Amino acid sequence: MPRQNAEPVAGTYEIDTGSCELHPDPVAGGWLLTINGAQSSHIDPDHPLDLEFEYMRQMAAVIADIFGEDARPLGTDPLDADLRVLHLGAAACALPRYLAHRFPSARQVAVEVDSALATLVRDWFDLPRAPRLRIRVGDAREVVESLTDSSRDVIVRDAFAGSFTPDHLTTTGFVRAVRRVLRSDGVYLANCGDTRDLRRVRAEAATIREVFGHLSLIADPSMLKGRRTGNVVLVGTDRAWEPSAALARTLLGDPLPSRVVSGRAAAEFASAAPILD
């Protein structure tokens, strides 16, 4: 079906939380959205299965590994799982758009704190419509705390104020609310940005481990060794999740190779960090 939206227009736009910039990406193609100076989303309108940000590719691969019946976690074939997904932090909805194409039966809600940004994104890009994808304006924690118990299969936290996640979305109280909303076999995926000291990542890992039965981390080895600033994906589950060999191959074959740290190694990573109350 042809796209119904008009072509996006490059420029700087005022939004409720400051300003955003939309520009064509001269290297990867598509469009790059920057919010208050931080790169926040990349979308190729003609290729919804292309995810430019590595942490989104990592999250997509984990979701397919847990809920898909496919030997290629980041493949292109539609998967049958009837998922209910909550995204905390929407920006341009790149990951919801990907999941809507990979899991056609999925029903998703993307929570965005900035009403003006949500309107712009709907105008710019051909996003799936309700009930496949609803964009809800509000604070992520308030939305989570308002939801019904055991009503979601996946909760993705990708909310930032500048380069870091707002503190109220990192505490044990927040993570307990996330766990309450997830089904017993659900998964919590948190994108944690940090500097080379890994202080934030370790504290968030300790907090998730305090609430969930199992903790895993995904990042490229140089990030986990404190050699660069970047992102780590934290994975919280109540059921034991053993990453598949197919997932390991997918992560290693990525343009930015990464690996899963789980079990005792993940516990040791988080062991010396304070829990975020």
What is the CATH T-level fold of the domain 49-270, as seen in this structure? Rossmann fold (3.40.50)
Q: What is the DSSP string of 167-200?
A: GGGSSHHHHHHHHHHEEEEEEEEEEEEE-TT-HH
Helix (H) or strand (E) holding 93: none
What is the per-residue pLDDT for 78? 79
The residue ranges of the chain whose pLDDT is under 50 are: 1-3, 71
Q: What is the CA radius of gyration of the chain?
A: 18
Strands 107-112 and 31-35: unpaired
Other beta carbons within 10 Å of 104: 13
Cis peptide upstream of residue 96 (ω within 30 degrees of 0): no
pTM of the model: 0.95
What is the per-residue pLDDT for 1? 39
What is the per-residue pLDDT for 72? 56
What tens digit of pLDDT does each residue of 257-271 get? Answer: 999 999 999 999 999
DSSP 57: H
Short-list 250, 235, 190, CA closest to 57: 250
Helix (H) or strand (E) holding 10: none
Q: Where are the domains of the chain?
A: 49-270
Which amino acid, residue 38?
A: A
Determine the 3-state secondary structure of 38 from DSSP. strand
